[in-house]
Amino acid sequence: MSRHITDRRAAPEGGRLKNYLAVERASGETRHPAVRELHERAATRDDVVRMREFLRIERGEQV
């Protein structure tokens, strides 16, 4: 008599992910240059004002 389908061992978790992460870490470049530039860019006052206005509109407030 063969085993029932639920009597099988679970597949090993994360083997492919572990190998992918190891390759990414070994490549030397942690982030894409464009992503790094965006994160290092200083927030300007205009960005803060735009965000404040966006949140005001989202809350439904009117001027």
Domain boundaries, the chain: 13-59
Q: Fill in the amino acid letter for 39.
A: H
* Residue whose token pair is 């894409």: 32
Cβ contacts of 39 within 8 Å, gap of 6 or more: 31
Q: Fill in the amino acid letter for 15.
A: G
* 5-61 residue pLDDT tens: 788 777 667 888 888 888 878 876 677 888 888 888 877 778 888 999 999 999 998
Determine the Cα–Cα distance for residues 35 and 12; give it in Å rounded to an integer: 33
Tell me the pTM.
Answer: 0.31
Report pLDDT for 57: 94
